[in-house]
Chain A
Amino acid sequence: MRALLALCLCGVLSVPATAAQIDLTVEIPSLDVSEYHRPYVAIWIERPDNSVAANLAAWYQQKDTNEGAGTKWLADLRQWWRRSGREQSFPIDGVTGATRPVGQHKVSFSSGKAPLGDLPPGSYRLVVEAAREVGGRELLTIPFEWPPQASQHLSAQGKNELGALALDLVP
């Protein structure tokens, strides 16, 4: 009887932890500039003390060229580089990928699975940082509570290097 109760409790507790999901849409805006390069973008989740809870994505030029692409300009994502990037070796499995073109890019992350993993309950910030060669840099944050009690839609709006940011939390 006691064992059965424990089993039930265990089942109830673990359900939200495995099911919760983060759906994120990042807009890379179209820019009227003479020399355009796709931005480098880093997406991560940080704790209130700025420490990194999870690296979700890092989009950068994957090929080395004689213009020095590859990891050379990753430090331009300067907050991410400071908080996490410089601790990593590249590529990071399931996190790093190619740069994205202008448009809306939807990415989803499930709790319990890499790269999100198991976030302990608490307050977090989603951070998106973009840096563009011969262009600018922009950083957006969206605070959120984890795990979500109900479906939640949060957003932020970039001004220069990022467009609309939509964060959907699904329990």
Chain B
Amino acid sequence: MKSALKWAVLGLAAVLPLSVQAHKAWILPSQTVLSKAGWITVDAAVSNDLFYFNHVPLRVEGLIITGPDGAAVEAQNSHTGKYRTTFDVDLSKDGTYRIATVNSGLFANWVDEKGERKRWRGSPETFAKEVPANAKELKVTQSSGRIETFVTLGKPNETALKPSGQGLELVPVTHPNDLFAGEAATFALQIDGKPAADLEIEIVPGGSRYRDRQDEIKVKTDAQGRFSVTWPQAGMYWLEASLSDSHASLPQASERRASYVATFEVLPQ
């Protein structure tokens, strides 16, 4: 019983960075709407309060910054401290930038010849090499997670917003840098390129340290994966969605887990 609980906890820990969690992961840009080419700085952290760095920094090994022309933009002056990761981005071209950390992988656990439970984390390429072919009680989970935000210099465009078709992704109907208090915004969620229907989404306004409640907004996607939210006030918002099902795209995996987090800035009228 004790052992089973231990493994359950460890198993949960293995998928924690990519699934529903008590702590909130986020990427926060210094501004989201710019009228002149130049630098922004970005904080990335995992915290309890939004948007205060008070737990651990967000690891950004999987950082992908996509420029308005679809080309990758390099992060500069990257630094990971005790509570946050920071980096700068030089916005030199007009249009919309997508700043995202994307993680994907396989998790496996099985019982070896000695009856001991083994855990493994890796990629489809290393799976065959590292997981024994005769593993007993083998359970393989395919996992993907995306944490992102959006910044626009000048006129917004859509090139960087094109979904990759992998994992849980947001497809904007309303542009993510065109959000205003009191107005409704519509987005769609996709899982591996298909509509993520009937999925719960949680939206929490920033500044949570200075109020008694999370004040979360809960919405659900429709059959087309679409959802709408009317922003109650201006500020930064954190959006999270995750799913777990049996539709893994990799043949080795029996289960699919995916999570999505985005930070949005909503401007006053």
A interface list, Cβ under 8 A from B: 68, 70-75, 78-79, 81-82, 85-87
Contact = CB atoms under 8 A, between A and B. Distances in A.
Nearest to A75: B35
Q: Mostly helix, strand, loop or mixed at chain B's interface?
A: loop
28 contacts: A68-B36, A68-B38, A70-B36, A71-B35, A72-B35, A72-B36, A72-B38, A74-B35, A74-B36, A75-B33, A75-B34, A75-B35, A78-B33, A78-B267, A78-B268, A79-B269, A81-B33, A81-B35, A82-B178, A82-B180, A82-B267, A85-B35, A86-B35, A86-B152, A86-B154, A86-B155, A86-B156, A87-B155
Interface in B23-46: 33-36, 38
Contacts of B180: 82
Nearest to B156: A86
Interface of B: 33-36, 38, 152, 154-156, 178, 180, 267-269
Given A72-B35, A75-B35, A81-B35, 12 more contacts: A68-B36, A70-B36, A73-B35, A74-B35, A75-B33, A79-B269, A82-B267, A85-B35, A86-B33, A86-B154, A86-B155, A87-B155
A148 B269 CA distance: 29
A86 B178 CA distance: 11
A74 B36 CA distance: 8
A68 B40 CA distance: 13
Nearest to B38: A72
Contacts of A71: 35-36
Contacts of A72: 35-36, 38
A59 to B, nearest CB: 14
Which interface residue of A70, A73, A78 has the most chain B CB atoms within 10 A?
Answer: A78
- For the complex of A and B, 9 pairs with smallest distance between CB atoms: A74-B35, A75-B35, A72-B36, A71-B36, A86-B155, A75-B33, A71-B35, A86-B154, A87-B155
Which interface residue of B34, B38, B152, B156 has the most chain A CB atoms within 10 A?
Answer: B34
A145 B209 CA distance: 48
A78 B269 CA distance: 8
B35 to A, nearest CB: 4
Nearest to B268: A78
A80 to B, nearest CB: 10
B223 to A, nearest CB: 30
Contacts of A75: 33-35
A78 B152 CA distance: 13
